[in-house]
Chain A
Amino acid sequence: MDYSNQSGFRQRKLQPKFRMRGSAVDSSEPSQLFDDTSPGQSVVDKGQMAYAGQNLLSDPMSNLAMAYGSSLASQGKEMMDKNLDRFIPISKLKYYFAVDTLYVGKKLGLLVFPYMHQNWEVSYQQDTPVAPRFDVNAPDLYIPVMAFITYILVSGLALGTQNRFSPEILGMQASSALVWLIIEVLAVLLSLYLVTVNTDLTTIDLVAFSGYKYVGMIVGVLSGLLFGKMGYYLSLLWCCASIFVFMIRTLRLKILSEAAAEGVLVRGAKNQLRMYLTMAIAAAQPLFMYWLTFHLVR
């Protein structure tokens, strides 16, 4: 249905161009830099395209210009890729988005009910962590990003039911939530540096862990919308408890030393400090969850 619409639209858009190209074919002016390789072409269109394409290609001047233009474009793309890779490690980011539906389902279930899960270790494959698709304990960035966006939309919805909505509020909510996220990640990084923890937690891992609380916030606000304040408080309490347990069990393996992670209570100032740090990070999550949502439910 929209296939025919698509090609119809393209026909309407291209026909004036064809007429122009037909009249300017001997003035050797390249009006199309790249070949149109889209699959939405009808038969009539293809005939016209082939006719115009042959005219275009047989002209050596426009041939040269087309080749130069495409090489310039590929050069620019290469340079941008190289420079962007220096600031944002794109290949590392791709690992965090290698998820599938089963993983997302299991992880969401784990975020609201982490009490039955036994094995919290991330499995490795020759010294690199396995992609999140294959291991439910691995952190990912898909759930935090989606939860963040959903949280902004849900907060807009909640404000709309109270007649407090205006389009600028969405941007303000987004930027303030983002700022709190940045502050939290910086605080966790600072405290990890001060306690000299040798851990393989990267910054992106910390962003992922801090983003998991948005799931609980969405559940809280939605149940607050459906069931009123009592529903909000109950579901927020449940989600806070589960995020607390989730964070402690996940971070314990990463921050504490091996012996303490297995459950053996190792005495010593170092491990005690690390345990306090883990509990502080986990306790900050419910605080943020309440702080960012209480003004949405009246």
Chain B
Amino acid sequence: MALYGLIQAAVLLTNAVAVLHEERFLAKIGWSVDQSVGGFGEEPGIKTQLINLIRSVRTVMRVPLIAVNSVCIILLLLFG
């Protein structure tokens, strides 16, 4: 049962990251990608890494999340 809770938490967290809109939200708080392409230095820094992580999660998980969410919806409809 704890494993199921972990899967639920992971799906919810990934959904939360996928919902962050690039223009409407991230640009407003200065976390968009084009604002953070800093110099050509060696150390990206934590903020740049986070921004890159958010962008890559959104790009990679967009389609699988549709599938996972549909499966979750169907399961919740069937089994309450």
- Which residues of A are interface residues toward B (Cβ below 8 A)? 172, 175-176, 178-179, 182-183, 193-196, 270
Q: Is there contact, CB below 8 Å, between B2 and A179?
A: yes
- Which residues of B are interface residues toward A (Cβ below 8 A)? 1-3, 5-6, 43-44, 46, 49-50, 53
Q: Is there contact, CB below 8 Å, between A196 and B43?
A: yes
Contact of A195 among B5, B6, B46, B53 (CB under 8 A): B46
Q: B interface, by DSSP: helix, strand, loop or mixed?
A: helix
Point out the residues of chain A lying under 8 angstroms from B43, CB to CB.
196, 270
Q: Is there contact, CB below 8 Å, between B6 and A179?
A: yes
Q: Is there contact, CB below 8 Å, between A175 and B2?
A: yes
A/B interface sample: 21 pairs, CB < 8 A: A172-B1, A175-B1, A175-B2, A175-B3, A178-B2, A178-B3, A179-B2, A179-B3, A179-B5, A179-B6, A182-B6, A183-B6, A193-B53, A194-B46, A194-B49, A194-B50, A194-B53, A195-B46, A196-B43, A196-B44, A196-B49
Bound state CA distance, A194 and B5, in angstroms? Answer: 26
Closest to B49 in A: A194
Point out the residues of chain A lying under 8 angstroms from B3, CB to CB.
175, 178-179
Point out the residues of chain A lying under 8 angstroms from B53, CB to CB.
193-194
Closest to A173 in B: B2
Residue from B2, B43, B53 with most neighbouring chain A CB atoms (10 Å) = B2
Bound state CA distance, A176 and B2, in angstroms? Answer: 5
Closest 10 pairs (CB-CB, A-B)? A176-B2, A175-B2, A179-B2, A179-B6, A194-B49, A175-B3, A194-B46, A196-B44, A179-B3, A196-B49
Q: Shortest distance in angstroms between B54's beta carbon and chain A's nearest beta carbon? A: 12
Point out the residues of chain A lying under 8 angstroms from B2, CB to CB.
172, 175-176, 178-179
Closest to A186 in B: B10
Point out the residues of chain B lying under 8 angstroms from A178, CB to CB.
2-3
Point out the residues of chain A lying under 8 angstroms from B44, CB to CB.
196
Bound state CA distance, A182 and B6, in angstroms? Answer: 9
Q: Shortest distance in angstroms between B31's beta carbon and chain A's nearest beta carbon? A: 14
Q: Shortest distance in angstroms between A20's beta carbon and chain B's nearest beta carbon? A: 46
Point out the residues of chain B lying under 8 angstroms from A183, CB to CB.
6
Point out the residues of chain A lying under 8 angstroms from B50, CB to CB.
194
Residue from B1, B5, B50 with most neighbouring chain A CB atoms (10 Å) = B1
Bound state CA distance, A178 and B53, in angstroms? Answer: 26
Q: Shortest distance in angstroms between A197's beta carbon and chain B's nearest beta carbon? A: 11
Point out the residues of chain B lying under 8 angstroms from A195, CB to CB.
46, 49
Point out the residues of chain A lying under 8 angstroms from B1, CB to CB.
172, 175
Bound state CA distance, A175 and B46, in angstroms? Answer: 33
Bound state CA distance, A182 and B7, in angstroms? Answer: 11
Residue from A176, A194, A195 with most neighbouring chain B CB atoms (10 Å) = A194
Bound state CA distance, A179 and B3, in angstroms? Answer: 6
Closest to B6 in A: A179
